[in-house]
Structure 1
Amino acid sequence: MATSDKIPVLQGITKKITITLFIFFIFWNLITYQIYDSEIINSPIFDDNVKIVTSIITSTNVITSTQVIKQEESPSSTIFKVAVVTETKTKTKFATKTSEILISSTKVDPQEIEKMQETLIDDPDHYEKQDELINQKYCGSTECKFIFPFHPPEQETQCNKHFLSFVQLAEKINRTVVLTNVGDSRIWSVRLFPFNFYYDVDELRDRFPKLKFITQEDFQDWCRERYIKPQAYFGKLLNIEPKFTVRNLSPFGGLLTKLERENKFYEFDFIFNNNSLFRQFNIGTRRVWGKTREKDTMIKFLQRELNVKEEVMLITHNIRSPLFEKLIPISYAKHLVNSANRVIKNQLNNRYIGIHWRMEKGEIELMSDCAYRLVNYIKNLTESTGISKIYFATDYPISGNSSQAQSDTFHKIFPEHREAFEIVKEGIDVETWVSTSALEYLHKYPELSFAVEDELRKGGVQGIMDKLILVQSNFFISGPIGCCRYSSTFTQKIAESRRRLINEGDKRIENLVDRWDGSKPYHI
């Protein structure tokens, strides 16, 4: 075949390859950006008219939705009138455009392409109105402003208190509170259980009737449904000097990456990038803002500085004390309270001794001696009171996993800990959350089963169950110096709850807390 004969063949092959590449490009964009209307994919439009669609796609524009508005039959062709929505996303702006284009199974005049490109106009009002409807759906208002306490510090007992500080802050700056997920004794955006797995949301709403609350799941849905994605703002409160000052933080140097990775912000469809605001608020030491006059100054400082336009406020702090008025903890979920009450009634006969032994920080060489002293103390107490039922709570792993403690701050289990636990089991007959099957009912919910097993291996929901049962015990006993973490917040909060029951006239409570060596209780 002569060279001149080959040229038309090569041109034809080149044209087919070009058209094939165009078709692949269009399908790739359609699949990648999740087009929900399938009409355009199922329509016979991908011939030479591919150029119509590609002509409205630039390096920053992608087709995100299509809808066939009208379909007309004619003797020579089938004509589709399609609305194509494109999004322009950059680091600094977001714009949405809508165009109606005609696509037919016959070739289209190039002038028609130019005409259709001219109709591609900005329509921001349309999407703002759509977002207002979405806001109305989730916030009951055309405007949404959230405060998201994505990771309050410390374990559940203290974390409960810190979350309340953020709820109080939300009340002062008029923002809706995102009820962060929970699990593994933490309130944290990366955990798998909803807030109401640990806590009574109805009770929280009753305590703060002027506030709005939203679950983390609904908050994520709101972000996902929004056409114009919400901007996020990062704020961190520190109790350092100089008091009542603001410091701008740089997202560079790893701060942004660390926040996104540790808290899984990439799962939230809000805008959080190097152009977002990152600020640190220094409120001074508690010695300063703990005073009434200074606290009022602090509140005004926070109200002024946290009055920002961003719809999402990512908030955290590393402060170990309540920021505002000290409140009783958030009540626990009804399913946990009901289970604890069943155990108290059916297995502890409404009359029992509660023991809390937090082995963490106890002196290793004293563990066996501490265990023998506990056994002797309890035997004497049961003999003098006639109470035979004993409930035992500990951070030692009693669920069968002898290598992982029921606290993520208790890092290593030694043979001395195991020996001490065996001494207790052999010396006195005790009930635990395991022996009473207090949490067995959680396995009845298949949608939670994959996470429940992991939760029960650690120190989460079972710590709450222990607390609910210990609070109502007739006598509450904890460890002396050398045997345990003597200044345990867990023990302290149980004693405080028992004091409230006594003040309310509960006759079951016969002590706040005693140490099994007879020493004076720690700051109760």
Structure 2
Amino acid sequence: MARQLDRVFVLPNVGRSRLAACHSFTFDFYYSLELIQQSSPNITFITQNQFLQWNQEMKAIGAETPTAHLVHLYSEHIKSPKLASDLVDFEPYQRKFCLQPFDNLRYSKEGDRVIEDIIVTPKYGFRSQENQAKVTPAIIRSLQSVKSDVMLIRCDSYWMIDGPNPPEFVYADHWAEQAKAAAGLLYPYIAIHWRMETANPDYLYQCSQNLVKYIQRAKARTGIANVYISTDYPIDGGYQRSGTFHNITQEHHRAAELLKNSVNLYTWERIKSSLPFFNETKFLTHGKDLDDAHGTLALTEKLILAYANWFVSGPRECCRFESSYTSQVVDERAKIIERQPIDAATNSKLWNLRDFWNYE
């Protein structure tokens, strides 16, 4: 989008697996700035801190106040595919999206609006490349009409701008190092990803029974003893691993207890005390969100799953079958398999891309 609009791309703060100005950690807490710049040399990137510093420097020298405009992109269930713009009160948005620190911006009106609402209908809101290609020209045309110096974009939709060579958001080295240290404790190991939140609770006990049987067969087939599980259920105590997983039933507990009593499972809680200490505070911009356990655990476990010798996830009856999270694990495993030499060390060699256990 920045390339097509010929604008500087401000990399926002991160936290809780999200990108937003409200979060407390700098962008490089999650991602590698160097690799992003290398993958998109024709785009100018600056961080949120650098943008704030520029904004305050302009104020200090008495320069003309930059103009700004807020754009809200979101999906809406409306009958016909179209883009719509409406008059919206700006003040609540300024508070909600944490724009107060950027106090040297003059919010200009495009026509009679301070906020541009762009609605992406369900027909064009899906993630297929075909639909992205259809909706992108209309969105870009709408955004090109914004003439303000600064365009602040809030995106509440899953669509992606279709364009050539999008920047690759590669995780920062410290997360790969953390995950590799964890994998080093486990090798060789089978890794399970089981997201229970969207599954029918009535199916979970049988799902667990069949997973136990699958693990027993996989151990016999591969000779691997260690089993690591990543799940949104609090299988090792504490909180659930998803901010939206609120309805944990007795059936969830029964399924988890069966699995724990039948298999010697390794979890993040079990191994984390053996890992090198990582100081997160150097990436903090303010003290609002000191704990990013949800976001960093999801990120680290994604790589632990990717580094596993054997990877398995669940059938449709037992979990969310095709999530973006699992797809990213599979994509990373494909890259590792492509790179690994034929004579790679057996201990850390990936033996499969992905497998499933059965419900029936």
TM-score bracket relative to the smaller structure: 0.7 to 0.9
CA distance in structure 2 between the partners assigned to 1:258 and 1:334 by the alignment: 37
Give the CA RMSD over aligned residues.
3.4
For residue 510 of structure 1, what is the amino acid of its counterpart?
W
Q: Which residue of 1 aligns with 2:251?
A: 416
- Once the two structures are overlaid, the 10-residue window that deviates more, 215-224 or 462-471, is 215-224
SS in 1 for 2:352: coil
SS in 2 for 1:265: coil
Instruction: Identify unmatched segments of 5+ residues in structure 2.
Output: 343-348
Is it true that 1:495 corresponds to 2:330 in the alignment? yes
For residue 252 of structure 2, what is the amino acid of its counterpart?
H
Cα displacement (A) at 1:278 = 2.2
The 5-angstrom pairing of residues 192-211 of structure 1 reads 192-211=24-43
CA distance in structure 1 between the partners assigned to 2:161 and 2:2 by the alignment: 12
- Pairing partner for 1:469 from 295, 299, 304: 304
CA contact (8 A) 2:180 2:307 kept: no
Q: Which residue of 2 aligns with 1:397?
A: 234
Q: How many pairs align?
A: 340
Is it true that 1:335 corresponds to 2:167 in the alignment? no
The 5-angstrom pairing of residues 308-323 of structure 1 reads 308-323=146-161
CA contact (8 A) 1:171 1:211 kept: yes
CA contact (8 A) 2:29 2:283 kept: no
For residue 271 of structure 1, what is the amino acid of its counterpart?
L
Identity %, equivalent residues: 29
Cα displacement (A) at 1:217 = 1.7
For residue 514 of structure 1, what is the amino acid of its counterpart?
D
CA distance in structure 1 between the partners assigned to 2:288 and 2:107 by the alignment: 31
Cα displacement (A) at 1:195 = 0.9
Higher Rg: 1
Cα displacement (A) at 1:490 = 1.5
Q: Which residue of 1 aligns with 2:69?
A: 233
Cα gap change, 1:398 to 1:201, in 2 (>3 Å): farther
Cα displacement (A) at 1:291 = 4.8
For residue 11 of structure 2, what is the amino acid of its counterpart?
L
- Once the two structures are overlaid, the 10-residue window that deviates more, 210-219 or 325-334, is 325-334
Is it true that 1:353 corresponds to 2:190 in the alignment? yes
Cα displacement (A) at 1:281 = 4.1
- Pairing partner for 1:257 from 55, 71, 91: 91
TM-score, normalised via structure 1 length: 0.58
- Pairing partner for 2:316 from 481, 485, 491: 481
SS in 2 for 1:435: helix
Q: Which has the higher contact order (CA 8 A, sep 6+)?
A: 2
Instruction: Identify unmatched segments of 5+ residues in structure 1.
Output: 1-168, 520-524
CA distance in structure 2 between the partners assigned to 1:339 and 1:300 by the alignment: 42
Q: Which residue of 1 aligns with 2:345?
A: none
CA distance in structure 2 between the partners assigned to 1:264 and 1:473 by the alignment: 39
Cα displacement (A) at 1:441 = 2.0
Cα displacement (A) at 1:338 = 0.8
For residue 339 of structure 1, what is the amino acid of its counterpart?
Q
CA distance in structure 1 between the partners assigned to 2:167 and 2:204 by the alignment: 34
The 5-angstrom pairing of residues 11-50 of structure 1 reads none
CA distance in structure 2 between the partners assigned to 1:421 and 1:197 by the alignment: 32
Cα gap change, 1:518 to 1:482, in 2 (>3 Å): closer
For residue 181 of structure 2, what is the amino acid of its counterpart?
R
For residue 201 of structure 1, what is the amino acid of its counterpart?
L
The 5-angstrom pairing of residues 365-444 of structure 1 reads 365-398=202-235, 400-401=237-238, 404-437=239-272, 441-443=277-279
Q: CA offsets, 1:486-517, max 9 Å, x none?
A: 23222222122223333445653322222211
TM-score, normalised via structure 2 length: 0.81
Cα gap change, 1:453 to 1:368, in 2 (>3 Å): farther
Q: Which residue of 1 aligns with 2:357?
A: 516
For residue 337 of structure 1, what is the amino acid of its counterpart?
A
SS in 2 for 1:355: strand
Cα gap change, 1:432 to 1:411, in 2 (>3 Å): same
Cα gap change, 1:418 to 1:246, in 2 (>3 Å): closer
CA contact (8 A) 2:40 2:166 kept: no
CA distance in structure 2 between the partners assigned to 1:233 and 1:334 by the alignment: 35
Q: CA offsets, 1:217-249, max 9 Å, x none?
A: 221222222223322112234577876x76443
CA contact (8 A) 1:182 1:188 kept: yes
For residue 175 of structure 2, what is the amino acid of its counterpart?
L
Cα gap change, 1:329 to 1:373, in 2 (>3 Å): farther
